[in-house]
Amino acid sequence: MTGRLRLGVNIDHVATIRNARGGDHPDPVRAAEIVAAVGGDGITAHLREDRRHIRDDDLARIQSATDLPLNLEMAATDEMLEIALRHSPHAACIVPERREERTTEGGLDAAGQHNRLAPIVTRLADAGIRVSLFIAPEERQLEAAMRLGAPVVEFHTGEYAHAEGEARAVELRRLSDLAALAVKNGIEPHAGHGLTYENVQPVAAIPQIAELNIGHYLVGEAVFVGLEAAVKRMRDLMDAAR
Provide the annotated active-site residues. Answer: 46, 73, 193
Whether the bond into 189 is cis, omega within 30 of 0: no
Identity (one letter) of the amino acid at 138? E
Report d(CA 209, CA 180) in Å as an integer. 8
Check if the beta carbon of residue 204 is closer than 8 Å to that of residue 241: yes
Check if the beta carbon of residue 71 is closer than 8 Å to that of residue 44: yes
Which residues are registered as beta bridge partners of 74?
A: 94
Check if the beta carbon of residue 241 is closer than 8 Å to that of residue 34: no
Cβ-based neighbour number of residue 210 at 10 Å:
20
Residue 181 host element (H or E): helix 165-184
Any idea what the Cα angle at residue 42 is, between residues 39 and 47, rounded to 5°?
A: 140
